[in-house]
Chains A and B, each alone.
Chain A
Amino acid sequence: MLSLALENSAEESNEAILIRRIRNGEHELFYDLIRPYERRVYAAAFAILRNEADAEEVAQEAVLKAFKHIRQFRAEARFSTWLIQITVNEARMRKRKDHAHIMEAISDHRDEEGDYTPRDFADWREIPSETLERSEIREALTRALAAIGEKYQEVFVLRDVQHLTIEETAKTLKISAAAVKTRLLRARLMLRDLLSPGLGGNWSSKLSFVKGAKPWE
Chain B
Amino acid sequence: MGMSCQEVWREVSNYLEDDIDPAVRASVEAHLRGCAHCTAVMDGTRNVIRLYGDKAMLEVPLGFSQRLHQRLEANMPPRQRGTPWGWVMAVAASLLIVGGFELGSSAAFMANELRSEHAIPAASHTPPDLMVVVAEDGKVFHGGTRCPFMHEKNKERVMRASEAIREGYVPCTRCMKQYLSAGLTTPDFHWGISAEVAALQPMR
Interface residues of A (CB under 8 A from B): 25, 27-28, 30-31, 35, 38-40, 42-43, 52, 56, 59-60, 63-64, 67, 115-118, 120-127, 129, 132-133, 138, 141, 145, 156, 160-161, 163, 181, 184-185, 188-189, 191-192, 195-196, 212, 215
Contact = CB atoms under 8 A, between A and B. Distances in A.
Contacts of B67: 56, 60
Contacts of B18: none
Contacts of B57: 43, 132, 138, 141, 161
B155 to A, nearest CB: 30
Contacts of B47: 124, 126-127, 192, 195
Contacts of A192: 41, 44-45, 47-48
A31 B59 contact: no
Which of A40, A42, A115 neighbours the largest number of chain B CB atoms within 10 Å of its CB?
A: A42
B109 interface: no
Contact of B9 (A40, A43, A124, A189): A189
Nearest to A43: B58
B43 interface: yes
Given A56-B61, A188-B45, 18 more contacts: A27-B77, A27-B79, A38-B65, A56-B67, A63-B71, A115-B6, A121-B40, A122-B44, A126-B43, A127-B50, A132-B54, A138-B59, A161-B57, A163-B53, A188-B49, A189-B12, A192-B45, A195-B48
A192 B64 CA distance: 31
A188 B48 CA distance: 7
Contacts, number: 133
Contacts of A121: 36-37, 40-41
A145 B53 CA distance: 13
B204 interface: no
Given A67-B76, A141-B52, A156-B52, A60 B71 contact: yes
B75 interface: yes
A64 B48 contact: no
Nearest to B49: A160
B33 interface: no
Contacts of B71: 60, 63-64
A67 B75 contact: yes
A163 B12 CA distance: 18
Contacts of B118: none
Interface residues of B, number: 40
Contact of A116 (B9, B52, B80): B9
Nearest to B58: A39
A161 B53 contact: yes
Given A132-B51, A141-B57, A188 B12 contact: yes
B76 to A, nearest CB: 5
Top 9 closest A-B pairs, CB basis?
A132-B56, A39-B58, A124-B44, A192-B44, A121-B37, A185-B13, A42-B60, A121-B40, A60-B71
B54 A38 contact: no
A18 B68 CA distance: 19
A70 B57 CA distance: 28
Nearest to A163: B53
B151 to A, nearest CB: 32
Given A124-B40, A141-B51, A192-B44, A115 B10 contact: yes
